[in-house]
Structure 1
Amino acid sequence: MAQKIKIHPENPQQRKIFDVADALRSGQICLMPTDSQFSLACSYSNKRGLERIRQLRDLQKDHTFTLLIDSLNGISKFAHVSDQNFKLIKRLIPGPFTFILPATKEVPKLLLHPRRRTIGFRVSGYPICEQVIRELGEPLLAVSARPNDDTVPEQSDMIRDEIFEMYGNGVDIMIDDESTDNIYLLSQSQTSVIDLTEDTARIYRRGMDFEKVVEAFNMMNFELELEEFE
């Protein structure tokens, strides 16, 4: 059974942040809250952890993971970012937004989109995520903890304890942020997905805080195209 670590959502206890970072550094995988959904995560360099998460979620080999970072410092190691896109991203971070950009050669093939050399990343505004990443010293690889089957309907909610029970035997650590809101809103807590790989930006998914995305695009006179997320 996974170790459950209770961490304050707004003022994370530093000792517990150290413990989580050490565990991730040693190759463990984690169930953790973010500023959107609960996520399954491992350290960027943990190839074995990546495969464990794939098996746990029953994901296909071509299912892409999101890079969770604590700031834009060093993003050029992982993605090619134009000056204009950098300014746009700065307007939106931190927050529940996933940005898709052309990946650099530093990014391992197993992390890339199967048909395009791209990678998705987020700068989480959630204190627990931010501090764990900073203490770890490298990004996290993350994927939503949403079940990959028909046991949970798309437009439904889950109790947090149900999520812990679901993954308790598959992960090494579960972070309980002791939030008073015990409902996991599956249908209302997805990130907005923004593709910045072309001249015209595309919105693949209208998720949380989508109105902020539209506002940022309008302020920068960016062309915007909407399409269904694949």
Structure 2
Amino acid sequence: MHPDNPQRRTINQVVELLRGDGLIAYPTDSCYALGCQLGNREGIDRIKSIRHLDDRHHFTLVCQDFAQLGQLVHVDNAVFRLIKAATPGSYTFILPATKEVPRRLLHPKKKTVGVRIPDHTVAQALLAELGEPLLSSTLLLPDEDEPLTHGWEIKDRLDHAVDAVLDSGDCGTEPTTVIDFSGDEPEIVRYGAGDTARFE
């Protein structure tokens, strides 16, 4: 798939797959991710199986824009300004979830969820056509230190486990920077691709 000008027909085909409870591997501005629709229970189980995750794992809701993000999480004015200035970009923000988010995706004690807005043309085209957030997890396989970065390699290794791989070339190996806004002060949970200066 062309990285700067993704073919609309291909994007439409992938969205149909997602709407039919499919699971895909797709590129973002930090690394490849696994993605499915929010209500796709089987898709969530398939991601857990591929990555050997337990029920404590935090999934990320990948949004097209701030309007979509605002439907999923509660954002006060100070946090709003910080997040708005950093998006789209290689950040995941942990925030208190709204009732739009299925309970099984929430942190069991804090009732929070991770959200992000990627700065990647293919991911944005996909989200625009889908019209809703993608439930996602970094494509990091069990017992490996680095996420997979080549579409051909992902297809080679996961062809049996996913319904489509969107290959638009390499997209880096560094996962997002994760910032937790659920407490009184922002807490950097993971240092990654995004600059942390504004949050420290």
SS of equivalent to 2:166: strand
Matched, 1:191 2:176: yes
Measured after TM superposition, the shift of residue 185 of structure 1 is: 5.1
1:99 — aligned with what? 93
CA distance in 2: counterparts of 1:124 and 1:83, whole angstroms: 22
Residues 1-230 of structure 1 aligned to structure 2 (within 5 Å): 7-149=1-143, 152=144, 154=145, 160=150, 161-177=152-168, 179=169, 181=170, 186=173, 189-210=174-195, 213-214=196-197, 216-217=198-199, 224=200
Q: Report the CA distance shift for 1:157/1:91 in structure 2 as closer, same or farther (over 3 A).
A: closer
Measured after TM superposition, the shift of residue 108 of structure 1 is: 1.3
CA distance in 1: counterparts of 2:65 and 2:147, whole angstroms: 31
CA distance in 1: counterparts of 2:81 and 2:149, whole angstroms: 38
Contact 2:29 2:172 in 1 (8 A): no
Measured after TM superposition, the shift of residue 164 of structure 1 is: 2.3
AA partner of residue 154 (structure 2):
I
Measured after TM superposition, the shift of residue 57 of structure 1 is: 1.5
CA distance in 2: counterparts of 1:195 and 1:44, whole angstroms: 21
CA distance in 2: counterparts of 1:157 and 1:194, whole angstroms: 20
Q: Larger strand proportion, structure 1 or 2?
A: 1
Q: Which runs of 4+ in 1 moved over 2 A?
A: 74-77, 156-159, 161-164
CA distance in 2: counterparts of 1:78 and 1:209, whole angstroms: 22
What CA RMSD, in Å, does the superposition of the two structures yield over aligned residues? 1.7
Output the TM-score relative to the length of structure 1: 0.81
Residue-by-residue CA offset, 1:38-72 (whole Å, 9 max, x unaligned): 11110122122111211122110121110000101
Contact 2:15 2:126 in 1 (8 A): yes
SS of equivalent to 2:156: helix
SS of equivalent to 2:157: helix
Measured after TM superposition, the shift of residue 158 of structure 1 is: 5.3
AA partner of residue 121 (structure 2):
P
1:3 — aligned with what? none
Measured after TM superposition, the shift of residue 157 of structure 1 is: 7.4
Residue-by-residue CA offset, 1:12-46 (whole Å, 9 max, x unaligned): 11111111111111111001111111111101221
SS of equivalent to 1:10: coil
Bigger CA radius of gyration: 1
CA distance in 1: counterparts of 2:148 and 2:99, whole angstroms: 39
